[in-house]
Structure 1
Amino acid sequence: MANIGILIAMVSFLPTAYGQSQRCTVPELSQCVCIKTEVYCEDIGLTEVPRNIPNTTTALVLDGNAITKIESASFFGLPSLEKLSLRDNKISSIETGAFDWLWSLTALFVDHSTEIDVPTEVLTAITTLTNLTRLDLTNCRISSEDLNLLSGLKSLQHLTLDNNDISYIKPGLFNGFLSLYHLSLRNTSLTAVSANIFDATTILKVLIIFDNPLMCCTMTDYFEWLPNQLPYLVVAGTCHDFNRTTDIRIFNTSHCTFPVDDQWSSWSTPTCSVTCGIGTGLRNRSCDSPPPSDNGKECIGSYTEAINCSLIACPEPYRRRGKYYNFCLFFLLPSS
């Protein structure tokens, strides 16, 4: 019973003590919660970034508000800020240079901001944050072309791009991302994940590609690359082929058949229409090198072709006194 009494006393004491440690003393942050150097302003109806945030702030959480615009001076004077979360806002504009003051920022969360209408503008602003190690851009209307703006963020360790309209990833996009260990591409429009988006080997430990229309037999280079990354890489996802869905970790490419397109053979040697000089010749080719298979395409073009042919020069006529004579050579035989 004594122990129960002590436990009740402790529980009743915690809210008061915890509440006192969370009070923000800055008037502009009166609705926010401050814990040491971290500021939490969640779900309080903010329409803009609060002013007068302490310059010692290391974490700023503004989730679940109605912020529509990030101004160029919104984060001015926050050189120590390491984490910024803007989840579930209605951001439609980010002014040039808005993130330029965040020299220490290593984690940025802009996910679930379903009202974002300027993904290119968002990514352009992010390109200045070369110290980022964690970036979450879930549901930000990012396209395949927009992704190229991330190529300079080579310090990233954890990147989440779920619920975006990404149909392909440019080869080499993640080359040189030597610290990237967690990549999530869940519920995009990807039909294939190619090994050529990475270096030959990476330190990638988690690759999440669930809920994509991935076609297994179009990813042969990925399946060749994957064993070189195991056993450290955990892949979560499925692919589709042969009217079934397969765990991407166990798909066997030996079941795949690949269309072989027909190819032309070499041209035959033409027969020229003349015995000397320039004439016309016909040459032929066949469509069997190799023949098409597994619904491969047949050759396009003609089986025959007329070309100019050039043989040795014909003999020149012999000219004498303005007239042309055929040049003849006579052999004089001695008389008997």
Structure 2
Amino acid sequence: MYWVWTFIILSVTYSRGTGACPDKCSCETASSCDGTYVDCIAKGLTTVPTNIPKDTCALHLYNNQLTTIGNGAFEGLSNLQTLYLFSNQLTTIGNGAFEGLSNLQTLILGYNQLTTIENGAFEGLSNLQELNLGYNQLTTIENGAFEGLSNLQTLFLDNNQLTTIENGAFEGLSNLQTLPIDRNPLHCDCQLVPFLSFAKSRSLELGLVGEPTCHTPANLRGTQIKNLRLPQMSRNCSLDSTTITGTTHLATRETPDTGVISTTVMVPGRWSTCTECTCIVKL
């Protein structure tokens, strides 16, 4: 009789602490963290399951058919430390997708079909240390995409479709050490200069399998980006409004008669005066 009551008490306690296990998944005490490990691997899931135990510290949802992650999908899982979502069919990570996961340390999103990372998508993940976005279809990384990830140490962006990286894309990642961007079709012109300066100043590791190389222009194809020199890259810049964006503004003045704003900027290897995005080059 004693063992019967003990079993009942333990069952009730477990239920109150963790909740029932999601359909098709299995739950057990985690060995790598303090809480429950939820195994939902290759279960044919099309949405994030409900009824996930509240004390879950490791959740594996890889090899499913997830296409989206709605806001609040992981609500209440404040104990979650490891989340594996690779090998699904995710195309977009929206703002607030991981809201409430303040203790998350590892997030694996590789081998999906991601084309878009919205600004604020990872907001609130202040303890995240590893983020894997490799083997996706990302073509650009917007400024602010990784805002708030002050403890991030490793960010995988290898095997995507990145041609350039915006200046300030990794602003605030003060602990970043490893940033694999190899196997991307990088276009090596002056727009890539701010990123290269950032990477060199932080001594970032940029290669996973090998060193990242230029895909275009043709004269730099195959060149390792760590070996690029500014004069090489300036020869591949066209002086248009796109090139001027993000350059250092040295002086701004207003023409008295017309009121037109004229800005003097520095582009690689030359001075340029821009009036309404029309450049007059001073050699």
Structure 2 CA distance for aligned equivalents of residues 138 and 245 of structure 1:
25
Q: Is the 8 A contact 1:192 1:215 kept in 2?
A: yes
Q: Matches of 2:47 and 2:147 in 1, distance apart? A: 33
Q: Which of 149, 159, 162 does residue 187 from structure 1 map onto? A: 159
What residue in structure 1 maps to residue 81 of structure 2? 106
Selected match of 2:46 from 60, 68, 73: 68
- CA shift, 1:147, in A, is 5.3
Aligned residues: 225
Q: Calculate the aligned-residue CA RMSD, in Å.
A: 3.9
SS in 1 for 2:38: strand
Q: 1:186 to 1:135 in 2, by over 3 A?
A: same
Are residues 175 and 148 of structure 1, via their aligned partners in 2, closer, same or farther at CA, if it must alter by over 3 Å?
A: closer
Query: Which position in structure 2 is the counterpart of 1:260?
Result: 239
* Mapping for residues 60-99 of structure 1, pairs under 5 Å: 60-73=38-51, 75-76=52-53, 78-79=54-55, 81-92=56-67, 97-99=72-74
The residue identity in structure 2 corresponding to 1:58 is: T
Q: Given the superposition, is the C-alpha separation of residues 198 and 125 from structure 1 closer, same or farther in structure 2, using an over 3 Å criterion?
A: closer
Aligned equivalent of 2:107, options 110, 130, 135: 135
Matched, 1:229 2:190: no
Relative to the length of structure 1, the TM-score reads 0.55
Equivalent residue of 2:223, what SS? strand
2:116 is aligned to 144
Please state whether the residue corresponding to 1:206 is helix, strand or coil.
coil
Greater relative contact order: 1 or 2 (C-alpha under 8 angstroms, separation 6 or more)? Answer: 2
Specify the alignment match of 2:247 in structure 1: none
CA shift at 1:267, angstroms?
A: 7.6
Rounded to whole Å, the distance in 1 between the matches of 2:201 and 2:70 is 43
Question: Of the candidates 245, 251, 270, which is equivalent to residue 222 of structure 2?
Answer: 245
- Once the two structures are superposed, residues 259-300 of structure 1 have per-residue CA deviations (whole angstroms, 9 ceiling, x without a partner) of 3359xxx9898xxxxxxxxxxxxx9xxxxx99xx99x9x988
Whole-angstrom distance in 2 between the partners of 1:60 and 1:125: 19
Is the CA contact 1:207–1:234 (under 8 Å) kept in the aligned structure 2?
yes
Check whether the contact 2:25–2:38 (CA below 8 A) recurs between aligned residues. no
Among all aligned residue pairs of Structure 1 and Structure 2, give the percentage whose two residues are the same amino acid.
Answer: 23
Aligned partner letter, 1:256: M
Residues 107/95 of structure 1: CA separation in 2 closer, same or farther (3 Å cut) = same
- CA 1:171–1:146 in structure 2 vs 1: closer, same or farther (change >3 Å)? closer
Q: How many angstroms does 1:201 deviate by? A: 6.9
**Structure 2: distance between partners of 1:195 and 1:299:** 23
Alignment-mate amino acid for residue 205 of structure 2: V
CA-to-partner distance for each residue in 1:50-103, whole Å, 9 max, x for gaps? 37x457753233323322333432x03x41x21111110123576764422322
Aligned to 2:195, what secondary structure does the other structure show?
helix
**1:195-214 pair list within 5 angstroms:** 195-199=167-171, 202-214=174-186
Structure 1 residues 268 and 189: CA distance shift in structure 2, 3 A:
same
5+ residue gaps, structure 2? 1-21, 242-253, 259-263, 278-283
Deviates more, 1:179-188 or 1:148-157: 148-157
Q: Cα–Cα, structure 1 residues 247 and 61, in superposed 2: closer, same or farther, change >3 Å?
A: farther
